[in-house]
Structure 1
Amino acid sequence: MSAAASSPASPAALTSSSRLAWLDALRGIGALAVVAEHMLPWFVPSLRPYWFSLGVYGIFVFFLVSGYIIPASLERHGDVRAFWISRFFRLYPLYLAIIVLVLALAWWVPVREAVVRDGSAVAAHATMLLDVVGIGGVADTMWTLSYEMVFYLVVTALFLTRGHERSGTWAIVFAVAAVLVGLVASGAVFGGGWPAYVSCAVFVLGLTGVVLGRLRTVSACLLGVMAVACLLLSSRVPWLGAAVLAVMFAGTAIYRWERGTGPLWPVAVTAALVVVAPVWAIESGWWWVRADVWLTTIALAAATFAGGMALRGRRLPRVLVWFGLISYSLYLVHHPLLKYFVQVSGDLRQAALPYQLLMTAVALAVIIGASALTYRFVEKPMQDLGRRVSRRCRGGLQGGGEARVPGEDAGDDRVLGHQERQVPHGVGDHVGQGDTVG
């Protein structure tokens, strides 16, 4: 039976609002999971689960959503210049605002030690390729943006070379790479600050070529190769980086299958390989990659995504959809605010349970309120501006291989109106009783 015959109804048959709702609902679930991952160890440690990892679960849900929708965004625009303009306006304003906030309050809560005090940190933050060049972000959660950026760069190169439709193949390739790297590498092959400097130079020159249309395909390929090289050779946990790309391309493969343009079996192969990927990490004793925990976490993330797809034509809880709308703000804002809150409240881990629960509710209210404000006054206005700018650029030069999604209006951005980059941090080891929020 063909993929077209066996797949569920095409997304084109559904309304834009219903598709947006299920994607935002998934983002809301991922965002709440990562907030819980960071809050529970410091506010109510007795409630933290250890039979699966809340943080990794949230991350994988977000990466599946990104993998599912980012290629659709690029194909919908049909113009890599407009695509990248849109990405910058959606990603960087809030990202830069949080950097300014953390640095401005460094006199009160110092910037964490993982952030190097030299120009390589500036270069890494400028590209968002933090984790894949071995540099800590000024806000802890920023590390996952590295993998989103790598995915953007790789997908752009594939799009311009007409290789973007073989998503299942690329999912398997990165899953195999995760297994192999997990067997031979325990960390970065190349260290120091030079990967950050080199990647920044390539990033600026390459994206200039992509946006301006001069040697666009060559520039995109250079960026894609650079991104993969950093992922495998200079990232903090190389096998995890490859596994993340595999998960994201698996999300794209699901999108292709749903549209009837690709098979589903590569997703199953990818999942099986990702399950066995953390060979070295298991040997090192990280709790979240123990076979039972890792398998359960992946299974729950997959089930959540499948459940969202199954309900995509139905009315979903509005509050969950709303959390999805503000999830990028929630993702970037919550961890710095938790640090500031704990600085005021003191260590809550030994407090009585009723007091812990009360302070958890207060902190959560502060975080949600602040996230709603940053979405309203930072994210949304800049997204709207980026959308207007990208529309003006659609009449410019078109790169080779740029094609629109059949049957969809390239100007209709409603399904993609809220950036699919909300990928929260949560890959942390067990918090000891002597630790501090960091």
Structure 2
Amino acid sequence: MSAAALPAVTPPARPAARLAWLDALRGIGALAVVAEHLLPWFLPALRPYWFSLGVYGILVFFLVSGYIIPTSLERHGDVRAFWISRFFRLYPLYLAVIVLVLALSWWVPVRGEVPRDGSAVAAHATMLLDVVSVGGVADTMWTLSYEMVFYLLVTALFLIRGHDRSGLLSMGFAAGAVVVGLVASGAVLKGGWPAYVSCAVFVVGLAGVLLGRLRTLSACVLGLMAVTLLVLSSRVPWLGTAVLAVMFAGTAIHRWERGTGGLWPVAVTSALVAISPLWAIESGWWWVEADVWITTIALAGATFAIGMALRGRRLPRVLVWFGLISYSLYLVHHPLLKYFVEISGDLRRADLPVQLGMSALALAVVLGASALTYRYVERPMQELGRRVSRRSRHGLQGGGDQRVASQDTGDDGVLGHQERQVPDRVRDHVGQADPLG
């Protein structure tokens, strides 16, 4: 996220090339998250502690989300099509993983952070898990909360014509992360009721957005609800606020690239995000120590800058492929690693050749399963979503859509795999629990 590291503005590359560099970044982020979870269980001696692999991965992913999601909505100019695309891209695999984890809970129990009541159902239905302080049935699902908050907020901003203020928004959320960290140690609104209320508002509000009934009002209510939950009922309020700052910084970078905004807000956001956890109440995890946190941010920013510098060039096909399957890779890898360890036993003290061999086998299983879920779950559902979106546009003309001049909506692959990337709770050999479980 370092402004100095970003490349100079160059002419736009071909759409396919632009997709390739974004997918390559997603691939890097996904592999970083897999490594964050694999190393403590299989090769603990190789896990780095001078930066956080998992947080690095999520920052890269969230920068990609911020870079492409708002401008994709603006390019297509169709709020209904945007949300249809989101549902068909996110929910099918998400629900499939939930079913898998619950079906095998007799063998590997569902994590204790998941409430055994209706609040868990309500929170999973909206994906607003972390911002209502509910654990996901799969450990990595918590980051989808911030993707959903971002989507809700961006939709509201688009409809009220406030979507071009990305730099101000990024700085505002970054400053908010510092302030929230100083005054709040956790959720102010506690209990199951935020999950129930947010689910009801989510369903009614999105119905209004999709059907065109009081669309702008519905979107604004959803956006306000999302920000309120982010600040008042998140498990780690400063972190969620900083994540939104990073995402809007990604949008600001895109606007700078297009010549419609400056880069200085990104530099200000970077500095504020860098200091946001340093005085935060109860932020004493190893990865928010000043040297680790700042190094992680710098590496994520440098990775994104290098990706931008290479846009338009031919990139390694395997890295682009990792990005293509990255949502599957993100959601399925952690449950599969748990099942693998349940069969293999504790490998942390095994001989190095055994650790290496089992690591390679586990990675092969994860990649194979991710490729299959992409091929047979993600891709067919994405195609179905496009067909539903086309029928919706043809059958509901005049339903109150807010439109701008649009381009080919068939490039929806660019909207794709940014919602899935983060480490979660894994016990490691230094005796500390990773904080984001």
Question: Could you state the TM-score of these two structures normalised by the residue count of structure 2?
Answer: 0.94
CA contact (8 A) 1:182 1:278 kept: yes
Partner Cα distance (1:169, 1:434) in 2: 41
Partner Cα distance (1:436, 1:265) in 2: 37
Structure 1 counterpart of 2:108, which letter? V
Q: Does residue 67 of structure 2 align to residue 53 of structure 1? A: no
Q: Does the C-alpha gap of structure 1 residues 176 and 298 become closer, same or farther in structure 2, counting only changes over 3 Å?
A: same
Q: Which residue of 2 aligns with 1:370?
A: 369
CA contact (8 A) 1:45 1:349 kept: yes
CA contact (8 A) 2:332 2:366 kept: yes
3-state secondary structure, aligned to 2:262:
coil
The Cα shift of 1:282 comes to: 7.6
Q: Which residue of 2 aligns with 1:92?
A: 91
- Write out aligned runs for 1:81-230 (5 A): 81-230=80-229
Q: Which residue of 2 aligns with 1:8?
A: 9
Q: Which residue of 2 aligns with 1:403?
A: 404
CA contact (8 A) 2:183 2:281 kept: no
CA contact (8 A) 1:79 1:399 kept: no
Structure 2 counterpart of 1:90, which letter? R
CA contact (8 A) 2:43 2:356 kept: yes
3-state secondary structure, aligned to 1:425:
coil
Q: Does the C-alpha gap of structure 1 residues 398 and 271 become closer, same or farther in structure 2, counting only changes over 3 Å?
A: farther
Partner Cα distance (1:397, 1:326) in 2: 36
Q: Which residue of 1 aligns with 2:347?
A: 348
Deviations 1:369-424 (A, max 9, x none): 0000000000000001101211222343464753135xxx24341552634323x2
3-state secondary structure, aligned to 1:279:
coil
Deviations 1:302-351 (A, max 9, x none): 00000000001100000000000000000000000000000000000111
CA contact (8 A) 2:172 2:245 kept: yes
Q: Which residue of 1 aligns with 2:414?
A: 416
The Cα shift of 1:7 comes to: 5.5
Q: Which residue of 1 aligns with 2:319?
A: 320
Q: Does residue 79 of structure 2 align to residue 80 of structure 1? A: yes
- CA-based RMSD of the aligned residues comes to 1.8
Structure 2 counterpart of 1:425, which letter? V
3-state secondary structure, aligned to 2:356:
helix
The Cα shift of 1:10 comes to: 4.2
Partner Cα distance (2:277, 2:431) in 1: 28
Q: Does residue 427 of structure 2 align to residue 426 of structure 1? A: no
Q: Does residue 380 of structure 2 align to residue 381 of structure 1? A: yes
Structure 2 counterpart of 1:231, which letter? L
Partner Cα distance (2:313, 2:132) in 1: 42
Greater displacement, 281-290 / 350-359: 281-290
Deviations 1:98-127 (A, max 9, x none): 000000000000000000000000000000
CA contact (8 A) 1:217 1:399 kept: no
Deviations 1:182-227 (A, max 9, x none): 1111111111000000100010000000000000000000000000
Partner Cα distance (1:31, 1:376) in 2: 17
CA contact (8 A) 1:33 1:58 kept: yes
Q: Which residue of 2 aligns with 1:241?
A: 240
CA contact (8 A) 2:178 2:280 kept: no
Q: Does the C-alpha gap of structure 1 residues 411 and 189 become closer, same or farther in structure 2, counting only changes over 3 Å?
A: same
Partner Cα distance (2:398, 2:117) in 1: 38
Structure 1 counterpart of 2:80, which letter? R
Partner Cα distance (1:319, 1:297) in 2: 24
CA contact (8 A) 2:139 2:425 kept: no
Structure 1 counterpart of 2:392, which letter? C
Structure 2 counterpart of 1:215, which letter? L
CA contact (8 A) 1:67 1:247 kept: yes
Q: Which residue of 2 aligns with 1:3?
A: none
CA contact (8 A) 2:208 2:215 kept: yes
Q: Which residue of 2 aligns with 1:393?
A: 392
CA contact (8 A) 1:116 1:136 kept: yes
CA contact (8 A) 1:64 1:251 kept: yes
Partner Cα distance (2:432, 2:17) in 1: 44
The Cα shift of 1:279 comes to: 3.1
Q: Which residue of 2 aligns with 1:331?
A: 330
Percent of counterpart pairs with the same letter? 75
Q: Does the C-alpha gap of structure 1 residues 436 and 168 become closer, same or farther in structure 2, counting only changes over 3 Å?
A: closer
Partner Cα distance (2:431, 2:245) in 1: 36
CA contact (8 A) 1:162 1:401 kept: no
Alignment coverage as a number of residue pairs = 427
Gapped regions of structure 1 (runs ≥ 5):
1-5
Q: Which residue of 1 aligns with 2:4?
A: none
Gapped regions of structure 2 (runs ≥ 5):
1-6
Partner Cα distance (2:104, 2:155) in 1: 37
The Cα shift of 1:171 comes to: 0.3
CA contact (8 A) 2:44 2:428 kept: no
Partner Cα distance (1:399, 1:254) in 2: 31
Partner Cα distance (1:386, 1:138) in 2: 25
The Cα shift of 1:73 comes to: 1.7
Deviations 1:263-296 (A, max 9, x none): 1110000000000001345864211000000000
The Cα shift of 1:15 comes to: 1.0
Partner Cα distance (2:399, 2:175) in 1: 34
CA contact (8 A) 1:161 1:400 kept: no
Q: Which residue of 1 aligns with 2:3?
A: none
Q: Does the C-alpha gap of structure 1 residues 67 and 60 become closer, same or farther in structure 2, counting only changes over 3 Å?
A: same
Partner Cα distance (1:233, 1:63) in 2: 22
3-state secondary structure, aligned to 2:409:
coil
